[in-house]
Amino acid sequence: MDRRSVNLVLAGSLTTALSLLAASASAQPAAEQEKCFGVAMAGKNDCAAGAGTTCAGTSHANYQGNAWKYVAKGTCTSIKTPKGNGSLTEISGTRSGG
């Protein structure tokens, strides 16, 4: 490899490493946040969306009971949705789909 190719490879590696670092940092909640199930819009969850999903942004329905979003600590159960209030634990039953 010539010097230019080595520089391009190193630059690409550094960019990838910085991107991964930024992504992992943004996935960590601030101390004043908590997970709230059943409040995320379809595709806008922070994580946990059940079988067939990989994590963030993979919920299939609005207010899906097994998908959570970070919210300000102490506010989750007071968040009202068309399907009921948010929950600090996974919501089973009819809220996990459509």
CB atoms within 10 A of CB 68: 27
pLDDT at 37: 93
Total domain count, the chain: 2
- Given this model, what pLDDT does residue 25 score? 46
Show the tokens assigned to 14.
């550094």
pLDDT in tens, 57-74: 888 899 999 889 999 999
Pair (23, 36) in one structural domain:
no
Residue with more model confidence, 76 or 15: 76
- pLDDT (tens digit per residue) in 30-89: 789 999 999 999 989 998 666 655 677 888 899 999 889 999 999 999 999 999 999 999
Q: Are residues 59 and 39 in the same domain?
A: yes
Q: Under a CB-based contact definition with an 8 Å cutoff, are residues 66 and 91 in contact?
A: yes
Do 24 and 30 form a contact (C-beta atoms < 8 A)? Answer: no
Rounded-to-integer distance, Cα 57 and Cα 39, Å: 13
Instruction: Please give the helix or strand (H or E) that residue 81 lies within, else none.
Output: strand 80-81
Structural domain harbouring 18: 1-29
Quick one: 40 and 88 in the same domain? Answer: yes
Kindly state whether residues 54 and 18 are assigned to the same domain.
no
Q: Does residue 54 sit in the same domain as residue 17?
A: no
pLDDT at 92: 86
| Same domain membership, residue 67 and residue 39 | yes
Which of 28-37 are b and which e, b meaning 16 or more Cβ less than 10 Å from the residue's Cβ? Answer: eeeeebbbbb
Identify the pLDDT of residue 98. Answer: 46
Residue 16's pLDDT is 54
